[in-house]
């Protein structure tokens, strides 16, 4: 059934139970909130701002937005983009789009104005909902995207070029629109990128979203009494699809707008959180804060916290051993996935398999996996091949990109681009990425984008960007720069030049050296990784010792 029916069920069964809570530790008690129908609770000026929403309010708000879109001409199959920071409004907006039969298009909040423009045009989006953090970027492009029929602003002080979301939905019916939606109807477009650095539009059906709900709940056994702490960005499949397990059973979830260790621990305590999904850097920061005495666990009640799970990047086994020494009663799990497989869960370790930490696991609920050679045949156990997955969560296609679709989808199998091997017990271990994407702190960084930017520097002859190991972020971007003849460059000069890049894309390490290329002109990145990764690992080990 379409995923929108789960929201209606929750509203019917649990109309007065909490669905979402927003915690913003950075707001003071003078901050204004104008969002209708939500409770704003401030018990202490020194504490975080807390907003909450029941399942009944969630469903009514989604219905109001759906009816607004329908009055403005949205029809089944049209596209509506969301560009908002995590907040209590985000998910009702998402489901409001789905209730119309339109396709929802979440956008990365780190996109530049030009990237936003590209993604709007790529997805054929006709309506955009954006938050106050993006006013400047939207204003840069709104006159250059003629296909957009309405720019909807969610927040205070609506800019002149947009319409007020809050004002317009207040006039709309809270009744569910009567739009017939099937499992195979298009539901969402998520953006990803390959090594070219150009975002690809990944099209998913309602069936895929629904399967994601069932996969997550099957893996982590959420019940109505669980409380999920949601921290990562909702535009990404990872955070949302882990939340789907709680959504399926009508459980409460808490959106925390911040990643400081004390905020995470305090929120888990105050809100009685039982499931927390972290990225590797956040888990490390929490443990460091405990070790340093910044966090005194005796001051918190974490008795309901039963599961800590990690995704989005390789997990060091040493981190989990350290975590278990501090939190011996926690279950641990990790999931592997990609946006093309509707996020995490196509490969799953399982809380019962903590002795296999380091592996990504086995086939997830409802999924098949194989490790294939270049001809698509299974490799012998213990040999390295490309990981491929198959199941109800596989994307329909790369939207408007048949060639790219054919390269990754073959006979129903989704070829992930990740090289892997299987041990004698059937557990899969990642060996290397076929693609050159760098995963730093759970975020994908695309080397070609940085290389193209650096090549604009008049003193650079050639450049290659690779990922090298980092104890906290997993990987960082390192730029190997070959200066032009008779030109002397400094790290400071390159770092200053890179200030025009978004912060997360700036290289964290600069290396001045020759850039090797093969006879066909391609950069020999495996050789660069072998050289500089080894040097960096030795340096990290020396620092640890």
Instruction: Write out pLDDT tens, residues 198-233.
Output: 689 999 999 999 999 999 999 999 999 999 999 989
- Give yes or no for a contact between 102 and 79, defined as CB atoms under 8 angstroms apart: yes
Cβ atoms < 10 Å from Cβ of 196: 12
- Give yes or no for a contact between 419 and 434, defined as CB atoms under 8 angstroms apart: yes
- Work out the pLDDT band at 419, boundaries 50, 70, 90: confident
CA angle 79, 80, 83 (to 5 degrees): 140
Which residue do the tokens 């780190």 mark? 110
Burial of residue 300 (number of CB atoms within 10 Å: 0-12, 13-18, 19+): middle
Range with the largest mean pLDDT of 161-170, 185-194, 533-542: 161-170
Terminal C-alpha separation, the chain: 55
3-class secondary structure, 337: strand
**pLDDT of 312:** 64
**pLDDT of 25:** 87
Beta-bridge partners for 466: 478
Cβ atoms < 10 Å from Cβ of 441: 19
pLDDT tens-digit map of 500-519: 998 889 999 999 999 887 54
Which residue do the tokens 């319409």 mark? 163
Alpha-carbon span 111 to 255, nearest angstrom: 22
Domains of the chain with CATH codes: 4-258 (3.40.50.12780), 307-433 (2.30.38.10), 441-544 (3.30.300.30)
pLDDT tens-digit map of 8-45: 999 999 999 999 999 998 754 444 433 333 333 444 44
Parallel, antiparallel, or unpaired: how do β-strands 79-83 and 103-106 relate? parallel
Instruction: State yes or no: pLDDT of 482 exceeds 80.
Output: yes
Cβ atoms < 10 Å from Cβ of 103: 26
Q: Print burial letters for 509-522: b (CB count within 10 Å at least 16), e (below 16).
A: bbbeeebbeeeeee
Retrieve residue 494's tokens. 């390159």
Instruction: State yes or no: pLDDT of 531 exceeds 80.
Output: yes
Mean pLDDT of the chain: 89
Distance of CA 456 to the CA centre of its chain: 30
**pLDDT of 334:** 92
pLDDT tens-digit map of 301-338: 999 999 999 876 667 787 899 999 999 999 999 999 98
**pLDDT of 455:** 83
Beta-bridge partners for 308: 276, 332
pTM, to two decimals: 0.82
- Give yes or no for a contact between 425 and 356, defined as CB atoms under 8 angstroms apart: yes
Handedness of CA 237, 239, 240, 243 (dihedral sign): positive
Dmax (CA) for the chain in angstroms is: 74
**pLDDT of 164:** 96
Alpha-carbon span 271 to 273, nearest angstrom: 5
Q: Where are the beta strands (DSSP E) in 60-196?
A: 79-83, 103-106, 125-130, 150-153, 163-164, 186-193
Alpha-carbon span 8 to 95, nearest angstrom: 11
Residues of the chain with pLDDT > 90, as a percent, come to 69
Alpha-carbon span 185 to 206, nearest angstrom: 6
Retrieve residue 166's tokens. 């809050």
**pLDDT of 31:** 41
**How many residues would you count in the chain?**
545
Residues of the chain with pLDDT > 70, as a percent, come to 90
- Work out the pLDDT band at 47, boundaries 50, 70, 90: low
**pLDDT of 41:** 40
Residues 458-464: what's their mean pLDDT? 89
- Nearest CA among 357, 260, 125 for reference residue 138: 125
pLDDT tens-digit map of 69-126: 999 999 999 999 999 999 999 999 999 999 999 999 999 988 889 999 999 999 999 9
Beta-bridge partners for 163: 152
């Amino acid at each position: 059934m379409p995923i929108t029916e789960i929201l209606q069920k929750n509203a019917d069964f649990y109309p007065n139970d909490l669905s979402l809570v927003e915690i913003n530790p950075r707001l003071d008690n003078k901050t204004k909130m104008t969002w209708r129908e939500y409770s704003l609770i401030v018990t202490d000026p020194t504490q975080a701002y807390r907003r909450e929403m029941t399942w009944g309010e969630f469903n009514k708000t989604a219905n109001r937005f759906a009816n607004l879109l329908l009055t403005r001409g949205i029809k089944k199959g049209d596209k509506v983009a969301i560009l908002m920071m995590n907040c209590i409004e985000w998910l009702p907006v998402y489901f409001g789009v789905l209730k119309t039969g339109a396709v929802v298009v979440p956008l990365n909040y780190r996109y530049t104005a030009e990237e936003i423009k590209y993604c709007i045009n790529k997805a054929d989006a006709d309506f955009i909902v954006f938050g106050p953090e993006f006013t400047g970027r939207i204003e840069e492009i709104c006159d250059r995207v003629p296909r957009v029929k309405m720019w909807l602003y969610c927040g205070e002080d609506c800019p002149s070029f947009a319409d007020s979301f809050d004002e317009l939905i207040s006039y709309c019916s809270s009744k569910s629109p009567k739009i017939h939606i099937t499992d195979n109807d298009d539901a969402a477009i998520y953006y990803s990128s390959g090594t070219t650095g150009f975002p690809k539009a990944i099209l998913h059906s309602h069936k895929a979203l629904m399967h994601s709900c069932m996969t997550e709940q099957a893996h982590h056994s959420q019940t109505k009494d669980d409380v999920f702490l949601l921290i990562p960005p909702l535009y990404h499949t990872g955070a949302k699809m882990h939340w789907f397990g709680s959504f399926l059973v009508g459980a409460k979830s808490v959106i925390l707008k911040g990643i400081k260790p004390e905020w995470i621990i305090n929120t888990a305590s105050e809100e009685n959180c039982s499931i927390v999904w972290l990225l590797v850097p956040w888990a490390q920061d929490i443990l460091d804060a405990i070790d340093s005495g910044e966090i005194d666990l005796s001051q918190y009640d974490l008795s309901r916290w039963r599961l800590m799970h990690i995704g989005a990047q390789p997990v060091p086994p040493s981190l989990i051993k350290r975590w278990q020494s501090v939190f011996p009663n926690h279950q641990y799990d990790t999931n592997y996935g990609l946006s093309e497989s509707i996020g995490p869960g196509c490969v799953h370790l399982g809380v019962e398999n903590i002795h296999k930490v380091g592996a990504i696991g086995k086939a997830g609920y409802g999924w098949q996996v194989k490790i294939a050679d270049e001809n698509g045949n299974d490799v012998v156990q213990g040999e390295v091949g490309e990981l491929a997955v198959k199941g109800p969560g596989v994307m329909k296609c790369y939207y408007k990109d048949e060639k790219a679709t054919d390269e990754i989808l073959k006979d129903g199998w989704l070829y992930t681009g990740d090289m892997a091997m299987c041990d004698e017990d059937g557990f899969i271990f990642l060996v290397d990425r076929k693609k050159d994407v760098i995963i730093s702190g759970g975020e994908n960084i695309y080397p070609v984008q940085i290389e193209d930017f650096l090549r604009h520097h008049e003193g650079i002859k050639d450049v290659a960007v690779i990922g090298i190991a980092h104890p906290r972020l997993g990987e960082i971007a390192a730029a190997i720069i070959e200066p032009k003849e008779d030109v002397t460059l400094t790290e400071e000069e390159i770092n200053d030049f890179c200030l025009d890049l978004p912060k997360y894309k700036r290289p964290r390490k600069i290396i001045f050296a020759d850039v090797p290329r093969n006879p066909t002109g391609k950069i020999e990145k495996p050789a660069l990784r072998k050289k500089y990764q080894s040097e960096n690992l030795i340096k990290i080990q020396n620092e640890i010792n």
